[in-house]
Every structure is written in C-alpha cells, then in structure tokens.
Amino acid sequence: MLERFVGRTFPVLVEQRQEGSGGEVLWTGYTPNFLRVATPGGPDDGLENQVGKFRLKGVNRFR
C-alpha cells in the first residue's frame, strides 16, 4: 500500500533528529497526508521545524 508513494515528492515538516540503529543521524517528519519520513543528515543541519521537499525513495516500516 505505501509503495504507491515511492518516487513521488512531498513537502515534509521535519520535526526531530534521531539516531539510527547504526549511529547515523536521521531527521524525521511527516508529509501532509501523515506519511512518516526519515532522511539522513548531519547533527547540526538545523532541519528541525523546517518544511522541505523530499522524494520518497523506499518504504521502511519503522515505529
């Protein structure tokens, strides 16, 4: 079901910074239709509370 969104571009409100399972920094947020999105980045990228356009590259069912 979520695979139908792969390849599409959405505005994303980036809400917080998290550390991934391998220690990498992930910025997470939501699309207007409430798809949760994670993107890699640096710890000081300052993406929190910013809206950016992101192309969805895949589906990962994380919680």
- The pLDDT, as a whole number, for residue 62 is 61
Which residue type, as a one-letter code, is found at position 50?
Answer: Q
Per the domain annotation, does 27 fall within a domain?
yes
- The pLDDT, as a whole number, for residue 51 is 96
Overall pTM > 0.85: no
pLDDT values of the chain reduced to their tens digit, one per residue, 63 residues:
899 999 999 999 999 998 877 888 999 999 999 999 998 888 788 889 999 999 999 998 765
Per the domain annotation, does 52 fall within a domain?
no
Per the domain annotation, does 63 fall within a domain?
no
- The pLDDT, as a whole number, for residue 23 is 83
- The pLDDT, as a whole number, for residue 63 is 57
The total of structural domains in the chain comes to: 1
Q: How far is CA 7 from CA 22, 26, 38, 58, in A?
A: 25, 20, 15, 8
Per the domain annotation, does 47 fall within a domain?
no
Per the domain annotation, does 57 fall within a domain?
no
| Full residue range of the structural domain in which residue 22 is found | 2-42
- The pLDDT, as a whole number, for residue 37 is 93
